[in-house]
Chains A and B, each alone.
Chain A
Amino acid sequence: MSLAPIPPPASVQAVLAAVLAAVLQRTGHGLGRFAYMSGNLVAGFFHTSSGRYRYLLKHTIQQIYFTALQSYQLVFFIGLALGILMVVPMVSLGFTDVDMLSSLMSKVLFQQLIPFITAIVAIGRSGTAITSEIASMQSQQAIDMLLLQGIDPHHLLVQPRVIGMTFSMMLLTIWMIAGAILGASSIVLMVDDAGWLPVIRASANRLSLGEWGLMALMMLWFGMAIGTIHCYYGLQSANAVQTAMNLPKAFVRSFLSCLLVITLFSLVRYG
């Protein structure tokens, strides 16, 4: 019996190069799919039937109802708590100037924390639901059946979810900001007789039109990223095992994507 010769060990550089190539290939593949899905979604607006628009409208409203309206209490409560948590330490240290508190709240809460926390709520609540729902359709071969019926699943299933998620993010952010203003102004009211109105007015004044525009742009990106990433992983799940594996992947990818975007926006604003 002869033993096969043992191949020489690969150099560290070769291993690193192979790992890097594999990572780049996967990233490129993922970005390619993302670009294809996004392009297909946009293209889908322009050559279609009126029936498709009816489905688009109906499912977009359903998505907004599920993501925005069904979680408004949760989001408002989180905003309220954030507003209180933000102001209580400042007030206890003796900083009760309404202008200063409003400025701090605008910079830290409205422009950074609230959009990000809203995104986390949307990912956890609606994103995972989107992935599971599309995955269950995939496992029943409903996606294949749509193709056989001449229906592009991206147009019927992905597009309304992405649009609905984008609108919902905007609504939820505004709602959470309202909660934060209420929470903060309640604390200020206890120690200062400034009244509700000056606090609300001062907070609102801190948000210029440009700030609202940047926030809307950020929400647009969050909604598109969360919707597209979760639909993508739903479509990649052909059975229960793959669904279980893809759910956390979708959560992590959309979380990281939102974190990256909010960091970039902060750098643009204050950098």
Chain B
Amino acid sequence: MADPILHLKRVVLPFQEPTPAIDLVIHTGEIWLIDGPAKSGKTTLFKVMSGLIQPHGGEIILFGNSLRRISNRTLARLRRRMGVLLEGDGLIPSWSIYDNLALPWRYHDLLSEQALQQTLVALLQQFDEEEELLYRVAATLTIEQRRRMAVLRSLQNDPSLLLLDNDGVASYLERLMPYLQRRLDDHSLALVLRGTAAMARYLPADRLHRATLRAGTLHLHANPSHLDQRSVT
């Protein structure tokens, strides 16, 4: 099997009370659905996986690079291969959606204005969104619209690893699924999302792995369709 895209090795989440170490191996083509009660550490786990916060122990290997040993510049380069949706939508409220989505491209000089316009319009069309939304100020959109725009932003780089730390994404999954399914079938994407067991019905069972987080401890649910052992403690 190919190298994992994300590997958590004996990672201890940064809680005040010590918690057992987590081992989690994620490969392309896999979907990981992580659920758990409130305050169980789901957001903390997603922040650790994206390198936003440091764990109390263990090692995170992202795209074959240990996050402990890489520079900030390398981490920024690796993050361009990731798409992340945080618990909040992460949009700058006083900016238009266009400016929000264009920010990383413009800031890092990745695309010309013309190409950027085409890319963003194509992105919205791909997921049946109205182009008019691009030119609205983020603060004037509904929570649902903002969340959808934030999801699209996480997809705009065609990421290899998609981390969706937001329960509200369930209502949008149906529209995203054709794109996600194609990328999963190509083994060019791994999807980790937070949600309840009910979300599993939107996801292809043969690729789905489920885990529950309780007080910083991750418990794997066996998936009958593929019983090759993923090491999850």
Contacts and interface: CB of A to CB of B under 8 A. Distances in A.
B94 interface: yes
B93 A50 contact: no
7 contacts: A51-B108, A140-B91, A141-B88, A144-B86, A148-B79, A148-B84, A150-B108
A148 B162 CA distance: 12
Contacts of A51: 106-109
A49 B108 CA distance: 6
Interface string A92-120: 00000000000000000000000000000
A136 B91 CA distance: 10
A151 B106 contact: no
A197 interface: no
B185 to A, nearest CB: 27
B93 A151 contact: no
B82 interface: yes
B86 A52 contact: no
Contacts of B47: 144
B52 A142 contact: no
Given A140-B88, A140-B93, A49 B79 contact: no
A146 B127 CA distance: 24
Interface in B19-59: 47, 50, 52
B93 A137 contact: yes
A133 interface: yes
Nearest to B157: A149
B94 A133 contact: yes
A145 interface: yes
Interface in B63-88: 75-77, 79-80, 82, 84, 86-88
A52 B75 CA distance: 19
A116 to B, nearest CB: 30
A231 B93 CA distance: 16
Contacts of A38: none
